[in-house]
Structure 1
Amino acid sequence: MDRQSFPFTTRAEFLEHLASCFTRAERTLTLFDPDFAIWELGSSATDALLRRFLHNGGQLQLAGHDGRHIERDAPRFLRLIKDYSHLVEVRRTSQQLRQLTDSFCIADERHIVRRFHSDHFRGEAVFDGPEDTQTSGDRFITIWLESTPGLFANSTGL
């Protein structure tokens, strides 16, 4: 397939591209955001997309600074973690990484939706562009290695 790039500036566009990224994912989803407050991880639509992905054997890795929003507002996501605990891993970033403010979702190392700063909606979605995922993918590996297990289905802590 040919590389497709879509700049965006609104919450609706971000969520639309994020859903498209989840839909395209087959093997891996890696997500980073300071708190995932605008990701709607607890919505029924997102739950359905992630359950389909995980049911088909995909693996989800999520890293963030603060999990209070998920704990408070995303009970469906907490159930998803419980139901697919063998395929979902959630980590909490270390104190040294708390200054990171970007936000991204990478699917299968070929699709990415990223916001340049988590306080704003300006960003881009790139589908079928593996070279576009490289920098954020490398960043995620560093974040992951410097993070600790965080959110579990029966105890909080992200």
Structure 2
Amino acid sequence: MEGIVHFDSRARFQQALRALLERAHATLDLFDPDFALFELGSSATDALLRRFLHGGSVLRLALHSTAHLERHAPRFLRLLRDYDHLSACRQTPRDLRQLADSFAIADNLHVVRRFHAAHPRGVLAFDAPGESDLPRTRFAAIWEASRSALPPTVTGL
């Protein structure tokens, strides 16, 4: 996959996301209402994210609800705990819960964007700072307005 690629199925979205994770080197910013389609709890995604974080890179997630990850992604929660110094998760306030798009930005250069989180249709763009400008700006605003979520331990310590 090179340049700008459109996708319209869950399988193609998964393929685009894997390609993005494989390219990520320094930063990875993700926004989705609940990350249900991201398969963050899979062993393949875990391996990619561990490789990414092992090099000292930074992972940030913003979401509306943590319920899906808490129920279906124990492997991902373990990864957040193992790399709590390099990863953070924030939950949006109620007034931002109407946001329904979904995107992943790697190194401020590569982006996978779904136009609506309920549908797998979207675009993958490599080496395209112009394509990642809007998602980067949106992520910064979402991140700033959100509060910490998914603490590394049950007590949050």
- Normalised-by-shorter TM-score class: over 0.9
What letter corresponds to residue 119 of structure 2 in structure 1?
A: H
1:58 lines up with 2:48 in the alignment: no
Whole-Å Cα distance in 2 between the matches of residues 148 and 81 of structure 1? Answer: 16
Equivalence for 2:91: 92
Equivalence for 2:108: 109
Whole-Å Cα distance in 2 between the matches of residues 82 and 154 of structure 1? Answer: 7
Q: CA deviation at 1:154?
A: 1.6
1:141 lines up with 2:140 in the alignment: yes
Equivalence for 2:19: 20
Equivalence for 1:49: 48
Q: CA deviation at 1:153?
A: 2.6
TM-score by length of 1: 0.95
Equivalence for 1:36: 35
**Which 5+ residue runs of structure 1 have no aligned equivalent?**
none
TM-score by length of 2: 0.96
Secondary structure (helix, strand or coil) at the match of 1:106 reads: strand
Whole-Å Cα distance in 1 between the matches of residues 124 and 45 of structure 2? Answer: 17
What letter corresponds to residue 67 of structure 1 in structure 2?
A: T
Whole-Å Cα distance in 1 between the matches of residues 3 and 83 of structure 2? Answer: 31
Contact 1:150 1:156 in 2 (8 A): no
Number of residues paired by the alignment? 155
**Which 5+ residue runs of structure 2 have no aligned equivalent?**
none
Identity of aligned pairs, percent?
Answer: 54
Q: CA deviation at 1:156?
A: 8.9
1:7 lines up with 2:6 in the alignment: yes
Q: CA deviation at 1:68?
A: 0.5
CA deviation profile, 1:82-134 (whole Å, cap 9, x unmatched) = 10000000000011100000000000000000100001111000001011100
